[in-house]
Structure 1
Amino acid sequence: MTVGLFGGSFNPPHDGHRLVAETAQKRLGLSRIWWIVTPGNPLKSHDGLAALGERVEMVRKFAAPARADVTAFEARYKVRFTADTLALVMRRRPAMRVVWVMGADSMATFHRWQEWQKIAETVPIVVVDRPGKTFAALSSPFAHRYDFARVPQEEARILPYRQAPAWTFLFGPRSATSSTRLRAEASAPS
């Protein structure tokens, strides 16, 4: 089984998230996508963060149920950082082939994540392009540090079977929707 782990606050989930998940799943031929709803991103303000249960329910209604699972196991296991999430998954599911899924906006700041190099050297990573983030992502410290491990997008299906570090950047349809913009529109006076 090949699984894409797609973590985020999803506050709220939107078409951009779905496009990242579906693009990664389709282009890599992944069996499943696990939408991991985090208690809260350590790098972002938690002001306006909807309750975890509420966000889980929003993602359940939003994600394609046929090939997606929605979980908030990080809260249950009191895991805060992605490196720890990956260690937990690898310990509990050692035979499962895992790929970390992220949008290009996350890749641009990936070097700020706790133990980002450990993450890159633990599992392959698929990065899906997001509007206005292509250059920032492809010129990021992560992209420079792991340039030698980049898999051409035409060969993306081999990524789940590659030893980390390995990553690919997928170009394709993009959605300009963002959670920040959706929250701002929701709170704007009518």
Structure 2
Amino acid sequence: MRQGFPYARAGQRIGLLGGSFDPAHEGHVLITREALRRFNLDRVWWIVSPGNPLKAHGPAPLDQRIASARASLGGDPRVVVTDLEARLGTRYTADTITRLRALYPGVDFAWLMGADNLVQFDRWDHWRTIMESVPVGVLARPGWRMPGRWARAARIYAGAELPAVASQRLLDGPAPRWCFVNIPMSSLSSTEIREKGGWRASTPA
């Protein structure tokens, strides 16, 4: 594997959680640890994006966000913070997943997202390619359970949904295959932290 890329061996089950992590917070950590348990994953890779195409304003510098993300995890060896999109030169999730599947033959990947992202998932570039390339694990966040259930993507792929009680089998079959689980979830959001000034004020210049 090329330098700077995380290690993975064939047969491992790895969840991919992408985002700007601007900043990372306890909500990201809780979603990740629940995903490890509920979807029977070996690892979760946080993919800290250079920038989110759906957001009008750019995030904090990438190295600053990666440092914050690593600090928030407290050294959990099951979670790897990466700058994979910057290294791969990809901007969109569908392209990132395509490249990772080629780089890591035999590794079973799943895409992870909060229910709030499921609501806007059909606006993502080549979102159907994502759904039909890897299993997708959706974790409900406060206020997004019902909107997530009625999301356009959820309705279109209703026939590919696993019941929550079967969540540990998410990666046991080919895509399209997805599962929606409800979890106790922190209501914190990165936007709220930024608006309160806790991110910019607490990070070094």
TM-score scaled by structure 2? 0.88
The aligned residue for residue 165 of structure 1 is: 176
RMSD: 1.0
Does the 8 Å contact 2:40/2:169 carry over to 1? no
Secondary structure of the residue that 2:55 maps to in structure 1? coil
Does the 8 Å contact 1:35/1:68 carry over to 2? yes
**How far, CA to CA, are the matches of 2:16 and 2:123 in structure 1?**
19
Of the structure 1 ranges 1-10 and 69-78, higher mean CA displacement relative to structure 2 is found in 69-78
1:43 alignment partner, one of 34, 54, 71: 54
Secondary structure of the residue that 1:180 maps to in structure 2? helix
The aligned residue for residue 131 of structure 1 is: 142
Identical pairs, percent: 40
1:85 equivalent in alignment to 2:96: yes
Q: Matched residue pairs, number? A: 186
1:109 equivalent in alignment to 2:120: yes
| Structure 2 unaligned residues grouped into runs of 5+ | 1-11, 199-205
2:86 alignment partner, one of 54, 75, 89: 75
Q: How far apart are 1:162 and its partner, in Å? A: 1.5
**How far, CA to CA, are the matches of 1:91 and 1:161 in structure 2?**
20
Of the structure 1 ranges 60-69 and 83-92, higher mean CA displacement relative to structure 2 is found in 60-69
After superposition, the C-alpha distances for 1:14-63 in whole angstroms (9 at most, x for unaligned) are 1111111111111111000000000011001224x110000011111112
Opposite residue 34 of structure 2, the aligned amino acid is T
TM-score scaled by structure 1? 0.95
1:99 equivalent in alignment to 2:119: no
The aligned residue for residue 9 of structure 1 is: 20
Does the 8 Å contact 1:16/1:178 carry over to 2? yes
Does the 8 Å contact 1:27/1:156 carry over to 2? yes
Does the 8 Å contact 1:35/1:70 carry over to 2? yes
1:61 equivalent in alignment to 2:104: no
Secondary structure of the residue that 1:168 maps to in structure 2? strand
> Which runs of structure 1 show a deviation greater than 3 angstroms over 4 or more consecutive aligned residues?
none
Opposite residue 50 of structure 1, the aligned amino acid is A
1:141 alignment partner, one of 140, 146, 152: 152
Does the 8 Å contact 2:140/2:183 carry over to 1? yes
**How far, CA to CA, are the matches of 2:85 and 2:92 in structure 1?**
9
**How far, CA to CA, are the matches of 1:108 and 1:17 in structure 2?**
18
The aligned residue for residue 152 of structure 1 is: 163
Opposite residue 17 of structure 2, the aligned amino acid is F
